[in-house]
Amino acid sequence: MKRREALHTLGAAALGLAAGTHDGAASMRPATSESARAGQQQAGEILIRGGRVVNADASFTADVRILGSTIAEIGANLTAGAEARIIDATGQLVIPGGIDPHAHLQGSFVDDLTTGTAAAVAGGITTVGTFAYPQDGENAVEAMNRWLAEVSRSAIGDVFFHGSTWPPTPEFAELMPDLAATGQPSHKIFMTRRDFGASRGALIELLEAARDAGVVTLMHCEDGVMLAAVLQRLRAEGRTSLRYFAESRPVIAEVAATQDAVALCELTQAPMHFVHLSSRRALEAARTPHSRELPLTIETRPLYLYFTEGRFLGEDGPLYVGQPPLRSPSDMDAMWDGLVDGRIDFLATDHAPWTRAQKMDPELDVSRLRPGVSDLRYMRPVLFSEGVGGGRISEQRFVEVTSTAAARTFGLYPERGVVRKGSLADIVVFDPRLERIASADDDPSRSDYTPFEGRRVTGWPVITIRRGEVVYEGGQVTGRPGSGRPAERRPRQT
């Protein structure tokens, strides 16, 4: 069976359709047949022996004993029950399951909750955040409840959701306590909307309501009016191909929106999170001496750590289109600096998967886009290879920026984001010396390309455990579609 056929079968299985027979060609697909489930490790007792536990604040050699869905013991020479599975982790790292709070697993993108979370667990990510966009006639809470019900039907990893509604009406503001009561206290605002300024008064009221309910507001910081003005100029000049994509979304539009968002955060004291920050100037605007006291966190994304705007000049330039665009080498260095020194709190994928044919569509231009790339499979391995292996960050900082900090920001800590007694058994056994070549053929995402194609990467997950169940092992996703659960979160205390 070809990889694409295997992924189609995977999606069919999640919908309860006939899965057919499988051969061994597509090792990254989740196990869906009865024979595969029979060999699947169910949540029970697992003893991980002899690994080096790495948390954000410490690392030490110890055994980790799992009972059911939780970590029961951590210590030396632990004893397991007669029926326990023993995992020898000698020479390997035992780290918290990754948490990616920013992925797109709905709408026109090619991944859904099944294939997206399959890619995640293959990459050592056990919990994924995505969006609960409403359908016609739904309010934010109704949309949230619909999406939460979908998790236990199709997801392999655990999932949480951010609401998203525009414009910021009084009715939406009144729903903030109800949104928090669903266990999903966050929502997203796109400052790219041209009517953002006209809605400013209503937005302030919404932010105050979110603050009072403990709801975090995610902010996409690009000024929509500025973007429209630049686009109009490029059209007049006949420069609309994707070669000009970086110019179509200039740094100043990100800076202006970031400054505006910081001011709104200071005015309302509403907890905010800035998504996919991309430039040095925007980081400087977000992290002023005064803003350090604000309830504000920041993410960047993998694209901005490894690629620069020169990619748009190549024949495959459209493959790298994302919002905001790739920036200059100086901006790339600034993203690394921020990740190292803590001005950037964590890395998030902004996983937005398309096929190569969709991205290379000749009809696309600077005003008609398919932004984003598939990142869930490769975020942690590539960061470990380039960050830890490259001497930029420590193993502990690696854990912090791919798990713990996101858990703290979005109300998941200490149940998730740490290997400690009493926490959920979301654990990755990670081989820091394993060397492999990144390839789209090794990615369960339905996207058939990766920007990391051909890159030599050192450091890979070898076993992923989600709530005490092995869901990835031996190069194969073993988790069953529908075994994922909603990740409930606590409201933010300000």
Residue 8 lies in a domain: yes
| pLDDT for position 14 | 38
163 forms beta bridges with 132, 187
199 & 249 share domain: yes
Residue 468 lies in a domain: yes
117 & 151 share domain: yes
From 360, 386, 409, give the residue that closes a domain.
409
228 & 301 share domain: yes
Contact 63, 370 (CB under 8 A): no
Range(s) of the domain holding residue 91: 3-95+419-477
Contacts 24+ apart (CB under 8 A), 5-11: 7/115, 7/444, 7/446, 10/114, 10/115, 10/118, 10/444, 10/481, 11/112, 11/114, 11/115, 11/446
| pLDDT for position 292 | 85
91 & 110 share domain: no
Domains in the chain, number? 2
429 & 347 share domain: no
Q: How does residue 252 score in pLDDT terms, banded at 50, 70 and 90?
A: very high
> Quick one: what percent of the chain has pLDDT higher than 70?
91
Q: Is pLDDT of 206 > 70? A: yes
148 & 253 share domain: yes
User: Residue 369 corresponds to which tokens in the numbers above?
Assistant: 């886009």
333 & 319 share domain: yes
Q: How does residue 35 score in pLDDT terms, banded at 50, 70 and 90?
A: very low
Least confident stretch, 26-30, 338-342, 474-478? 26-30
19 & 37 share domain: yes
306 & 399 share domain: yes
Residue 494 lies in a domain: no
| pLDDT for position 65 | 98
CATH number of the domain bearing residue 69? 2.30.40.10
pLDDT tens sequence across 441-459: 999 999 999 999 999 999 9
Residue 492 lies in a domain: no
341 & 445 share domain: no
pLDDT tens sequence across 67-118: 999 999 999 999 999 999 999 999 999 999 999 999 999 989 999 999 999 9
CA 326 vs. chain centroid, Å, equals 18
pLDDT tens sequence across 394-424: 999 999 999 999 999 999 999 999 999 999 9
| pLDDT for position 37 | 37
From 391, 409, 427, give the residue that closes a domain.
409
CATH number of the domain bearing residue 256? 3.20.20.140
